């Protein structure tokens, strides 16, 4: 019968479409990271505007979004994504998380009127 193979092909396409694709998970992480860089992680400024104020809350929000993106990257890695671009982005996000954690600690100490090393 011609209908059985066609039905199985449609069923297979449906099953593949329902699962999470490692590239889609990676792209979701990139979207989260992009939103963070346009929002709370945006510490750069143009010469025509005032510099962004740095607060513990802003750094905390940036860290949370970075952790969200990192969870998506970890998921993509567990699904088998290994291409060089992904590995580079994943490693960069891990490094950013570590820097943000240290920055948050320092900024919170400054907000409390302490100096690092006290």
- pLDDT one-digit tens code per residue, 38-60: 988 886 555 666 666 678 999 99
Q: What are phi and psi of 17, to 5 degrees?
A: -70, -25
- Residue 100 within any structural domain of the chain: yes
- Residue 44 within any structural domain of the chain: yes
- Residue 24 within any structural domain of the chain: yes
Residue 74 pLDDT > 60: yes
- Residue 66 within any structural domain of the chain: yes
H or E element, residue 20: none
- Residue 59 within any structural domain of the chain: yes
pLDDT in tens, 97-108: 999 999 999 999
What's the predicted TM-score (pTM) here? 0.74
Name the percent of the chain lying above pLDDT 90: 58
- Residue 67 within any structural domain of the chain: yes
The domain tally of the chain equals 1
Structural contact between residues 115 and 109, judged by C-beta atoms closer than 8 angstroms: yes
Identify the CATH number of the domain in which residue 98 sits.
Answer: 1.20.58
| Boundaries of domain holding 29 | 20-111
- Residue 4 within any structural domain of the chain: no
Contacts of 46 (CB under 8 A, 6+ apart): none
Distances (CA, A) of 8 to 1, 14, 115: 12, 10, 67
């Amino acid at each position: 019968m011609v209908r059985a193979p066609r039905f199985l092909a449609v069923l297979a396409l449906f099953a593949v479409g329902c699962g999470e694709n490692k590239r889609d998970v990676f792209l979701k992480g990139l979207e989260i990271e992009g939103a963070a860089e346009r929002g709370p992680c945006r510490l750069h400024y143009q010469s025509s505007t005032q510099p962004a104020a740095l607060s513990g809350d802003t750094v905390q929000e940036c860290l949370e979004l970075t952790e969200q993106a990192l969870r998506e990257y970890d998921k993509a890695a567990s699904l088998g994504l290994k291409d060089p671009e992904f590995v580079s982005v994943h490693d960069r996000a891990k490094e950013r998380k570590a820097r943000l954690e240290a920055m948050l600690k320092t900024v919170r100490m400054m907000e409390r009127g302490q100096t690092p090393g006290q």
